Amino acid sequence: MEMEKDQFKSEFSARLVNFSLEIIKLCRKIKKDNGLMLIADQLIRSGCSIGANVIEAKCSRSKKEYARYFSIALNSANETIYWLILVENSNRELSVFCKELRTGAQEIARILASSLITMKK
């Protein structure tokens, strides 16, 4: 059981790194559209913040602090979903890529929310 938990954590961390890299790729494409440059900056901040806060949680000194980092990561995931929706609806060329990333962000948000529920029990 503990080994499965460790494997899940490792895979989840790798997934978050990959998600951040995909957000960076998207933002490079977005920056070609002057009207969306500010959104690209926000998207980088929120999209990369998810993984950063989950990694930061590993160094927590208490369960309360650990849960706080997960809560911040969940908020960042939800913010990322919002920015992706804006880009998706503003730029047809990027809409398919945005939909894929949005699905990934929603899955990550569900995992974080589930983890927070488990922590509170």
Contact 83, 39 (CB under 8 A): yes
Domain at 41, CATH number: 1.20.1440.60
User: 55-103, pLDDT tens digit by residue?
Assistant: 999 999 999 999 999 999 999 999 999 999 999 999 999 999 999 999 9
Distance (Å, rounded) from C-alpha 95 to C-alpha 54? 28
Please give the tally of structural domains in the chain.
1
Residue-range definition of the domain harbouring residue 69? 2-120
Look-up of token digits 């922590």 = 119
pLDDT at 1 over 80: no
User: 14-27, pLDDT tens digit by residue?
Assistant: 999 999 999 999 99
Quote the pLDDT of residue 12: 95
Average pLDDT over residues 50-59: 95
HSE on the CB side for 100, CA within 13 Å?
A: 9
Quote the pLDDT of residue 70: 97
Q: What token pair was written down for 103?
A: 């699905």
pLDDT at 2 over 90: no
Quote the pLDDT of residue 121: 77
